[in-house]
Structure 1
Amino acid sequence: MGIVTLTTDMGLSDYYVASLKGSVLSVVPSAQIVDISHVVRPFKVTEAAYLLKNCMLDFPEGTIHIIGVDAEPLINFSQPEESVYPTIVKYKGQYFVGADNGFFSLLIGNDKFEGIWRLDDVLSRPELMNFPTKNILVPAACKLLQGVAVDQFCSAVENFRKAIPLSPVIDGNTLKGSVSYIDHYGNLITNITKTDFERVGKQIPFVIYFRQKEYYIDKISLGYNEVPPGEKVALFNDAGFLEIAINKGTPENGGGADSLFGLRVGDIIRIEFTPRGSRETLSSLF
């Protein structure tokens, strides 16, 4: 019994996700289907990569991941490098089936992968383009589930399209990052990792500013309950990213961090470090 995961931007109010699952089960009735998320913001492959990257290692080798986010192929004969093909990548013993639209680059970065293959024959049946996740990606995943060797229905290629993720910037004693994802609780996940933080200012006093210094936090907590319910908290989450949250944020106590602070994906988060012996530290003594 093979495992197939689904990560899409299709939402839960339409028939689309059910259609995907039915299409898999019609071919491989024994398949075990796991939903990772269907509420990725439309066409935001960065969010899809974040979600999948942080749970993929919880799945066993041989798992097949279908990524139905911005999945429509785009074949550009005049500029082939701009084409977006349905693609299969084998990475850490698992298979990822999706469009080569930058997702694989965001997922894998500079890590090594075991193979990459392209589904070339996507123009022979243009009617498949109106639901590419179901009509192109699912059949490819089902062949893998059935044990068909990937090189029997795909062509091997050397690499995937590159996408450059937004990375934190170090400017003197300041570390600037941004909100990269907002979860179900309204927690603000930034692109600042614990490694980034410690590279600039391990064991150095700091203040985390957001909304142009309108709000700030000067402590990293180990868990949400280190502050009372309704209070703001900063911590490094399970994936190692700096997170700004409201402990037990609910509408009754002001909501989550996103609504309470009015922050969205892409907004700037700034950490200012004050090394001991600096002018800023000395001035605080007088």
Structure 2
Amino acid sequence: MIVLFTDFGLNDPYVGQMHAVFAREAPGVPVIDLFHSVPAFNIRAGAYLLPAYARDFPPGTVFVCVVDPGVGGVRRPVMLQADRRWYVGPDNGLFEMVRRRATEHECRVIRWRPSRLSASFHGRDLFAPVAARLARGEIPDAAPAELTAPSDIPWPEDLAEIIHIDQYGNGISGLRATTLSTEQAIRAGGEVLKYARVFSEVPPGTAFWYENANGLVEIAVNGGSAAARLGLRPGDPLTLIQP
């Protein structure tokens, strides 16, 4: 199985071009579009989303992960094997939280190159064919290496920040819900929000926080948009209030 995780969106041809490579290079292998709405260019947001949304895929899954504002530059192309899954993409921090949370991992710098490699679309020309080969059971030419550790801004174990707004206006954070007590409140967008297990536990129009289906703290409004109500955007901080 091949799984796509990108900031490409769905309004342009990029996702379709990736699928065309998979159809040519790995016919018959299922391809899943997991995420194409990672905030554009936001490597850190992608890094915290990836392990939460990858955790339920079976061993042998190949993730093609492209949030790559440095494409064509000095960053290396890598493939990371972590907990019996493959992750293919740029060595720019995108795999940092996968690496930290894995029980075992091994990184390799990709040395294989296609006959045609554009400067600006390594997702199609390099990462997709490498992923197709891995899905076929082949190991492309690569050298053992360590991932490059992010050094620009703090990368805590859990990120108290909004990292994605879904189509309902819910604000997904980089906090694992297991690190919080349900007695804790969270300040977001100028309001103090209490915990609820599900939407129906609060009156319509009420803002609250809950553990989403992927284990992350999410800010929501019953029957409404937390983004609109609280003015939430990716990068907005959350403040934890002790019980």
TM-score (norm: length of structure 2): 0.86
Which whole-Å CA distance do the structure 2 matches of 1:54 and 1:195 have between them? Answer: 12
Residue 147 to residue 109, structure 1, CA distance change in 2 (3 Å): same
Which whole-Å CA distance do the structure 2 matches of 1:13 and 1:126 have between them? Answer: 25
Equivalent of 1:48, from 37, 46, 49?
Answer: 46
Unmatched 5+ residue regions in structure 2?
none
Which whole-Å CA distance do the structure 2 matches of 1:125 and 1:226 have between them? Answer: 57
Which whole-Å CA distance do the structure 1 matches of 2:157 and 2:82 have between them? Answer: 23
Alpha-carbon deviations, 1:130-153, whole Å to 9, x = none?
Answer: 311111111111221222234xx1
Aligned residue in 2 for 1:141 = 131
Which whole-Å CA distance do the structure 2 matches of 1:7 and 1:23 have between them? Answer: 16
In structure 1, the residue corresponding to 2:95 is in which secondary structure?
helix
Equivalent of 1:260, from 229, 232, 243?
Answer: 229
Whether 1:106 and 2:82 are equivalent positions in the alignment is no
Equivalent of 1:96, from 84, 87, 93?
Answer: 87
Whether 1:162 and 2:149 are equivalent positions in the alignment is yes
Which whole-Å CA distance do the structure 2 matches of 1:14 and 1:207 have between them? Answer: 40
Aligned residue in 1 for 2:4 = 6
Aligned residue in 1 for 2:22 = 24
Equivalent of 1:232, from 207, 230, 235?
Answer: 207
Q: Which amino acid aligns with 1:267?
A: D
Equivalent of 1:184, from 144, 167, 179?
Answer: 167
How much has 1:11 moved relative to structure 2?
1.3
Unmatched 5+ residue regions in structure 1?
76-83, 170-176, 250-255, 275-286
Alpha-carbon deviations, 1:33-70, whole Å to 9, x = none?
Answer: 10011122211123333333123232221111101211
How much has 1:106 moved relative to structure 2?
2.7
Which whole-Å CA distance do the structure 1 matches of 2:237 and 2:55 have between them? Answer: 30
The size of the alignment, in residue pairs, is 239
How much has 1:184 moved relative to structure 2?
2.3
Identity value in percent: 26
In structure 2, the residue corresponding to 1:160 is in which secondary structure?
coil
Greater per-residue helix proportion: 1
Equivalent of 1:216, from 163, 183, 192?
Answer: 192
Q: Which amino acid aligns with 1:270?
A: T
What RMSD, in angstroms, separates the aligned Cα atoms of the two structures?
2.5
Aligned residue in 2 for 1:281 = none
